[in-house]
Structure 1
Amino acid sequence: MDQWRGAAGVCVDEQGRLLMVLQGKPEEEKRWSVPSGGREGEETLEQTCIREVFEETGYRIRTTKPLQEKKGTIAGIDYSVTYFEIEITGGEAVIQDPDGLIYEIAWIPREELERLPLSFEEDRAFLLHITSTSTRGT
């Protein structure tokens, strides 16, 4: 069976807002997600997270700790995504996604996160929990 490994960056600012991107293929309804993507070559998952956040948001980051791992199977492909708590170290909000799948970068307040259309609905409870307990800032 094929396998896919990826990483996602979770950043909550001092106001409790979550860094998110609006994404989707051109023909799809656009939905929100934390910056994330698949591992390339021999990258570590931390390196994947750093690259993906930069490509999708323009922010330079460092990972501070792993938060959770999500596993499953879609269309016969086993997947695993490691979510990292991240801290912004530089850069500015600018989309530079080489895949052309990112349409907007935003800091989403917890109240909005409760009703926002998500790319991965199963992440909602986890992200709401993170935004209510995080003390990290940018």
Structure 2
Amino acid sequence: MSKWKGAAAVCVNEKQELLMIYQGLPHEVKMWSVPSGGVEEGETFEDCCVREVYEETGYHVNVVDELFVKESDLAVVKYFRVKVTGGEKTLHDPDGLVQKVEWRDVELVPDEDFQYKEDIEFLRNYAKEIVT
């Protein structure tokens, strides 16, 4: 059985705010995360990251570098540092999951509002350290 493959974008602006999406189906509790999604056939992880950011936020980005890989028995997700190169904040998620797109002070997002709890410490530390 092959693993599900995905990519996630970590983008921090000059105010040290993290680009985040608020997502969930109408009947689900909504949660915050960074833009991310599954690799489609023929895509690289980097291509997936760029596409997902555009689909979920409206921003065009360039991948700067790979930050880390999160792997389990079922999935592998590569996290990339990205930089906004154009576009504008819009909601046009083809899956209809994204409810909001915001630049957030990640310190102010309560732990219980993060979709992927295992990312909290990394994202908070990263947002403090990065200089864009």
Fold shared, TM-score > 0.5 on shorter chain: yes
Q: What is the deviation of 1:45?
A: 0.5
How far residue 111 of structure 1 moved from its aligned partner, in angstroms, is 2.5
Corresponding pairs, count: 132
TM-aligned CA deviation for residue 113 of structure 1: 3.1
* In structure 1, C-alpha distance between the alignment counterparts of 2:20 and 2:112, rounded to whole Å: 11
Q: Match of 1:8, SS?
A: strand
Aligned ranges 1:116-135 → 2 under 5 Å: 117-135=113-131
Extract structure 1 runs of 4+ deviating beyond 6 A. Answer: none
Aligned to 2:5, the other structure's residue is in SS state strand
1:56 maps to amino acid = E
Q: Which residue in 2 is equivalent to 1:6?
A: 6
Question: What is the distance in 2 between the residues matched to 1:82 and 1:57?
Answer: 19
- Scaled by the length of structure 2, the TM-score of the pair is 0.95
Per the TM alignment, residue 116 of structure 1 is displaced from its structure 2 partner at its CA by 5.9
Q: Tell me by how many angstroms 1:2 deviates.
A: 3.8
Q: Name stretches of at least 5 consecutive residues in structure 2 with no aligned partner.
A: none
Unaligned runs of 5+ in 1: none
Question: 1:115 deviation in Å?
Answer: 4.1
Q: 1:132 to 1:80 in 2, by over 3 A?
A: same
| Contact 1:95–1:105 (Cα < 8 Å) also in 2 | yes
Percent of matched pairs sharing the same residue: 43
- Would the alpha carbon gap of residues 116 and 18 (structure 1) be closer, same or farther in structure 2, given more than 3 Å must change? farther
TM score, norm. by length of structure 1: 0.91
> 2:31 matched to 1:35?
no
Contact 1:113-1:128 within 8 A present in 2 as well? no
Quote the Cα distance in structure 1 between the aligned partners of 2:24 and 2:123: 19
Q: Which amino acid aligns with 1:108?
A: R
The 3-state SS of whatever aligns with 2:113 is: coil
Q: Do the aligned partners of 1:72 and 1:80 also contact (CA within 8 Å) in 2?
A: yes
CA distance in 2, matches of 1:44, 1:34: 19
Residues 1:84 and 2:84 aligned together = no
**Mapped partners of 1:93, 1:117: distance in 2:** 21
RMSD: 1.2
